[in-house]
Amino acid sequence: MTHKIVPTGEATAILPTPGSATKPITVIGTEAIRGTFDDLCLQQAVNSRLAPGVTDLVLNPDAHCGYGAPVGCVMTSPTHIYPGPVGVDIKCSMSLLQLDLPADQIIDRSTRRALIDAVCERTPTGAGRGQRHVKKSRYVGEGLGRQLLVEGASKDVCQQLRIPYDWTWHCEDSFHVGHDETAAALAQRLAKHLNNDNFSKRFSNKMQQLGSYGGGNHFGECEVVEVRDDDRARKVADRFGLKDGRVAFLSHCGSRGIGHDLASGQFKTLQRHFETWNIPLPGNDRQLVYAPLGTLEADAYIDDLSLGANFATVNHLLINALVLEAFQEVIPGVQGKLVYFISHNIARKEVVGNCIPNSAANNSDSRSTKPVKMEWVHRKGATRAFPAGHPGLKGTMYETTGHPILLPGNPQAGSSVMVADEGAAASCYSVNHGAGRALGRKRAFRELDQAAVDKSFDDADILSNCRVYPRDEAPAAYKDFDEVLRSVKSAGLATEVARLKARFVIKDGDKADD
Which residues lie closer than 8 Å to 346 by C-beta, 6 or more apart?
A: 86, 90, 91, 305, 309, 378, 379
Question: pLDDT tens, 36-51?
Answer: 999 999 999 999 999 9
Is position 335 within any domain?
Answer: yes
At 224, which helix (H) or strand (E)? strand 219-227
Buried b (16+ CB within 10 A) or exposed e, 380-404: bbbbbbbbbbbebbeeeebbbbbbb
Within a domain: 434:
no
Residue 360 has pLDDT above 90, yes or no: no
Residue 443 covered by a domain: no
Q: Is residue 47 part of a domain?
A: no
For residue 445, the model assigns a pLDDT of: 94
Q: Which domain holds residue 127?
A: 93-351+383-425+478-506
Please determine, for residue 133, whether its predicted confidence score (pLDDT) is greater than 90. no
Task: Specify if 255 maps to a domain.
Answer: yes
High-pLDDT (> 90) share of the chain, %? 88
* Greatest alpha-carbon span in the chain: 65
pLDDT tens-digit map of 278-326: 999 999 999 999 999 999 999 999 999 999 999 999 999 999 999 999 9
The count of structural domains within the chain is: 1
The answer to whether 319 touches 179, Cβ cutoff 8 Å, is no
Q: Over 283-328, what HEC string results? A: HHCHHHCCEECCCHHHHHHHHHHHHHHHHHHHHHHHHHHHHHHHHH
CA distances from 10 to 15, 25, 438, 488 (A): 15, 17, 21, 11
Q: What is the DSSP string of 450-468?
A: HHHHHHHHHHTT-EESSSS
Structural domain includes residue 357: no
**Given this model, what pLDDT does residue 487 score?**
98
The Cβ-side half-sphere exposure at 50, using a 13 Å CA radius, reads 19
pLDDT at 509: 58
How many other C-beta atoms are found inside a 10 Å radius of the C-beta of residue 452? 11
- Cβ neighbors of 44 (< 8 A, separation 6 or more) are 65, 66, 68, 69, 70, 283, 285
- pLDDT, tens digit (0-9, with 9 covering 90-100), for 163-181: 999 999 999 999 999 999 9
SS3 223: strand
Residue 421 placed within a domain:
yes
Q: What pLDDT is recorded for position 510?
A: 52
- In angstroms and rounded to an integer, the radius of gyration of the C-alpha atoms of the chain is 22
3-state secondary structure of 183: helix
pLDDT in tens, 421-448: 999 999 999 999 999 999 999 999 999 9
Q: What residue ranges in 381-493 does DSSP mark as E strands?
A: 382-384, 404-410, 414-420, 430-432, 463-464
Within a domain: residue 98? yes
The CATH number of the domain holding residue 417 is 3.90.1860.10
Q: Is the pLDDT of residue 213 over 80?
A: yes
- Give CA–CA dist 290/454, Å, rounded: 44
- 362, pLDDT greater than 60: no
Instruction: Give the helix ranges, DSSP H, for 3-108.
Output: 31-34, 39-49
